[in-house]
Amino acid sequence: MKKTFLLMSGLFFTVSSHAQILDVLKSTVINSTGVYVNKITSKTGSQSTTSTGSETVGSLTSSEISSGLKEALSIGVQEGVKKLSAEDGFYKNSLVKILMPEKLRNIENKLRLLGMGSLADKGVKLMNRAAEDAVTDAAPIFASAITSMTISDAKGILLGNDNAATNYLQNKTQSQLFTTFEPKVKASLGKVGADTVWKQIISKYNLLTGQNVTTDLDEYVTTETINGVFKMVAEKESGIRNNSALRTTSLLKKVFGAKN
């Protein structure tokens, strides 16, 4: 009986001490990093399991995940628009430069063969100038779209691939962005004189070849401008996910640090 009592007492002490040790470890982590440890990992052989609450991923709440992703996208849009709206932001950026529409590549080749390469070059340059001018109005459109991300979407996006948030935003907003943005692009094409130059290009080509080629320049430049912004946002998102130095706020450090 006495042995049993001593054995039970020792077991109780061991369990109690183990709990105290865990409490001390948690307290140390909190004091050192500011991160609350609320997941327990157990290992059996080569397998491990992690227990988390339904409303958390690691130490993050759903609200923190959603806010962190929106902040990353907002930073990507702001920086992307700033770079693209500068002179040559599109024209000298190989990632987003707007080239001659594919169905008009024959026009470009024909003009160059006839010694009118400078006219083709001017047409391409002015398309990019129009995009650089129009993209300044894109920021508030994208900002509004970013706020529509729901908390239920956020967890899967956080654990997704390097461009998961950008892809989500593009899928959700592409059509709406096009409808809103096209008039701005059309105005910019007129502002920089791109529409006039393109009428000259197409009319010369039609006159020389006897064809009747037409193109919707507004639609083409609008699509390419929007795609350019998404490419820049995706580049920034990937950077934030993979390079801790690019996590410039405490929220980004916490959310993407925990994901890693």
Least Cα distance to 135 among 189, 187, 185 occurs for: 185
User: How far apart, in whole angstroms, are the C-alpha atoms of residue 157 and residue 162?
Assistant: 9
Answer for the pair 79, 164: CB distance below 8 angstroms, yes or no.
no
What mean pLDDT is predicted for residues 28-37?
37
User: How far apart, in whole angstroms, are the C-alpha atoms of residue 38 and residue 25?
Assistant: 12
Burial of 260 per CB tally in 10 Å (0-12, 13-18, 19+): exposed
At residue 8, the pLDDT reads 37
Q: How confident is the model at residue 57 (pLDDT cuts 50, 70, 90)?
A: low
At residue 7, the pLDDT reads 36
User: How far apart, in whole angstroms, are the C-alpha atoms of residue 5 and residue 227?
Assistant: 74
At residue 5, the pLDDT reads 38
Least Cα distance to 153 among 67, 238, 237 occurs for: 67
Q: Around Cβ 173, how many Cβ atoms within 10 Å?
A: 19
- Sign of the CA dihedral 157, 161, 46, 11? negative
At residue 211, the pLDDT reads 82
At residue 6, the pLDDT reads 39
Q: How confident is the model at residue 58 (pLDDT cuts 50, 70, 90)?
A: low
pTM here is 0.72
Least confidently predicted of 49-58, 70-79, 205-214: 49-58
Q: What is the phi-psi region of residue 197: left when phi exceeds 0, alpha when psi lies from -120 to 50, beta otherwise?
A: alpha
222 pLDDT above the threshold of 60: yes
Answer for the pair 75, 256: CB distance below 8 angstroms, yes or no.
no
